[in-house]
Amino acid sequence: MKTIVHKANSRGYANHGWLQANHSFSFANFYNPEKIHFGALRVLNDDVIAPKMGFGTHPHDNMEIITIPLKGVLKHRDNMHNAWQPILPGEVQVMSAGTGIQHSEINGSDTEHLSLFQIWIIPNKSNVKPRYDQKAFSEDNRKNKLQTLVTSMEDNHIGSLKIHQDAVISRIDMDKDNSFEYQLKYSNSGVYVMNVYGNITIGNNTLGTRDAIGISETETFQVVANDNSGLLLIEVPMNF
């Protein structure tokens, strides 16, 4: 098993006043030649956005974009929808930028900060028709068990959102002293594990809150929760 550990304090950080941004991979003004991507995973941003603030209309193309609000209210609008679409904690949004899309994202609250993860995955098909989808996932369904959020368009998994890549995005909330074994779905894939909160052990590596580990060249790995912990797992092709 091959691993690479990214400690929380090694991420790129930008304080824009209205936006506190942590970048797991090179993004905007943060550049680290050793942190360009993990396989097809290009971006994992951990953002906190001030009330009533956000990103104005901007373009994307040929990227699969997944947004996971953790706290607060996210509102999204794009050139496929005239109305603002609210996205709440427990919901996940996917957007296939494809041939090109214009969208805006704002904090929908006047008083509360918005916290979210945004993930960009390099697609396996270029210039597809842009699309948007979102879905609510019950917190109860990831208590000490893996909850699948996103899978490939070609995957017959029922209940997950779909993207144009052989990827699997999952979450699990683990009680202290619990463990589970992750089985990779694809033989040429790796898994990027973000420890959202708590303390876990994978192999010989102990990870605190917002620490991450990239795992490849294995079919399975085991996670042990040293404390109550929440994990985000992103399985992606390593060769694409």
Q: Cβ(151)–Cβ(168) under 8 Å?
A: yes
pLDDT digit string, tens, across residues 101-154: 988 899 999 999 999 999 999 999 999 999 999 999 999 999 999 999 999 999
Question: Quick one: pLDDT at residue 149?
Answer: 98
82-92 burial string, b = 16+ CB within 10 Å, else e?
eeebebebebb
| Cα gap 42→19, rounded to integer Å | 20
Residue 81 pLDDT exceeds 80:
no
Residue 58 pLDDT exceeds 80:
yes
Residue 52 pLDDT exceeds 80:
yes
Q: Residue 3: which pLDDT band, with cuts at 50, 70 and 90?
A: very high
